[in-house]
Amino acid sequence: MPIKLKKKIVVAMSGGVDSSVTALLLKQQGYEVIGLFMKNWDDDDKLCPQKKDYQDLISICDKIKIPLYTVNFTQEYWDNVFKDFIKELELGFTPNPDVLCNREIKFKVLLEKAFSLGADFLATGHYASINNQFELCTSVDTNKDQTYFLYTIKHEILKKVLFPLGSYPKSTIRKIAKDHHLITHDKKDSTGICFIGKRNFKEFIQQYIPSEKGGFYTLDDTFIQENDGAPFYTIGQRKGLNIGGEGKAWYVVDKDNKANKVYVVQGDTHPALYDTTLLANEISWVGKPPDLDTAYKCSAKIRYRQTAQKCLITRISKEIIKVKFLLPQRAITPRQSIVFYKDNVCLGGAMIMPKND
């Protein structure tokens, strides 16, 4: 997208290599660049990486020679992301706070803050791109593509956003950082849930959700052994079940959240792990919705980094769609996002519904 020089661009900076190089590239292109660091979590715990990230960021901005501002969104994050995360866990689902963070924080309150600073655009280090029609498109580096987490961003917002890294592979980004002596060049990518960091997930969650023991059961409702409670397990999970005995490894295939039961089967190829059809609601299209009066052909992902799978979408009602895949999909998980693609364009997405809804 062509932009006149000397436009003011606010870069959302996290203290990682991606946002560091985003700011560097834009500065090299002649734009007036401002770094903006978001504080989203109020925690002095040493296992929370926020303080170290900020110190790295001071060094980066000094190196690039751009100003750095800090904004505190801890209340907004708590109200609009974290409370929803806890609510979903209490209901026995496996929430993904990244999607909500992008919609409610980065491309809402952060975008508003950027424009209050006189910015013409907000830039982030996401691996995604925007074409001339302001459609959300996948990045060159398909392994790092993050459009799965960005599907709730609307067409009009994309006109105000830049994704400079969309045309680069991750290896090139690290090389650029190293060549320019940025201290983040070999910094590990952040993984997992940002506010948990390196802490034990169960110990952290038990601060907010009372711990209540549940049980593992076979599909014929035979009790196997006690577990830590349904909120701590997700569909398709193998590690951490600690179910002994002979035979193949055990996998979670279903949960009865009200009864605090987790249903498991043995073997990665067990038929109960696979399905070709799902229902989804909370539909969000980036641009104009596709015509669903007849079955709409496209591809979809039910998890990040999955290769998009061919499917058909049909409308069940104004709020619900049915998705039928060409091939069986493993571990379709309620309340996770399903994201739709047509070639390299991200059309939008929805939330996978529990089977009994």
DSSP string computed for 229-246: -GGG--TT--TT----SS
- Point out the least confidently predicted range of 39-43, 174-178, 212-216: 39-43
Picking from 140, 138, 200, 98, the residue whose alpha carbon sits closest to that of residue 343 is 138
How do residues 260-303 score in pLDDT, each as one tens digit? 999 999 999 999 999 999 999 999 999 999 999 899 999 999 99
pLDDT at 195 over 80: no
What helix, strand, coil percent values describe the chain, rounded to 5? 25, 30, 45
Is position 48 annotated as part of the catalytic site? no
If one compares 92 and 20, the residue with the highest pLDDT of the two is: 20
CATH of the structural domain 8-179, one choice from 3.40.50.10490, 3.40.50.620, 3.40.50.2020, 1.25.40.20: 3.40.50.620
pLDDT at res. 53: 80
Q: Could you tell me the two tokens for 156?
A: 């009009």
Q: Could you tell me the two tokens for 60?
A: 């980066």
If one compares 192 and 244, the residue with the highest pLDDT of the two is: 244
> How confident is the model over 204-217, as a mean pLDDT?
86
pLDDT at res. 205: 80
Spell out the residues 6+ positions from residue 166 whose beta carbon is closer than 8 angstroms to its own.
126, 127, 128, 129, 130, 137, 139, 140
- The residue type of 339 is V
Q: Does domain 211-268 bear CATH number 2.30.30.280?
A: yes
Residue linked to tokens 């601060």:
207
**Burial of 226 per CB tally in 10 Å (0-12, 13-18, 19+):** exposed
Q: Could you tell me the two tokens for 243?
A: 């179910």
pLDDT at res. 11: 96
Q: Does domain 273-352 bear CATH number 1.10.10.10?
A: no
pLDDT at res. 4: 47
Q: What is the percent of the chain where pLDDT is above 90? A: 75
Is position 61 annotated as part of the catalytic site? no
- Each domain of the chain, given as residue ranges in start order, spans 8-179, 211-268, 273-352
If one compares 209 and 330, the residue with the highest pLDDT of the two is: 330
* pLDDT-derived band at 191, boundaries 50, 70, 90: low
* pLDDT-derived band at 186, boundaries 50, 70, 90: confident
Task: Give the whole-angstrom CA distance, residue 158 versus residue 346.
Answer: 12
Categorise residue 298: left if φ over 0, alpha if ψ from -120 to 50, beta otherwise.
Answer: beta
Per residue, what are the HEC states of 132-160?
Answer: CCCCEECCCCCCCCCHHHCCCCCHHHHCC
> How confident is the model over 179-186, as a mean pLDDT?
91
279 close to 320: Cβ distance less than 8 angstroms: yes
Catalytic residue among 61, 194, 298, 311: 194
How do residues 25-35 score in pLDDT, each as one tens digit? 999 999 999 99
Q: Could you tell me the two tokens for 132?
A: 């001339």
pLDDT at res. 3: 47
Picking from 285, 294, 302, the residue whose alpha carbon sits closest to that of residue 353 is 302
pLDDT at 217 over 90: yes
pLDDT at res. 210: 79
pLDDT at 91 over 90: no
Number of neighbouring beta carbons within 10 Å of residue 150: 26
Q: Could you tell me the two tokens for 24?
A: 């560097």
Catalytic residue among 101, 137, 298, 346: 101
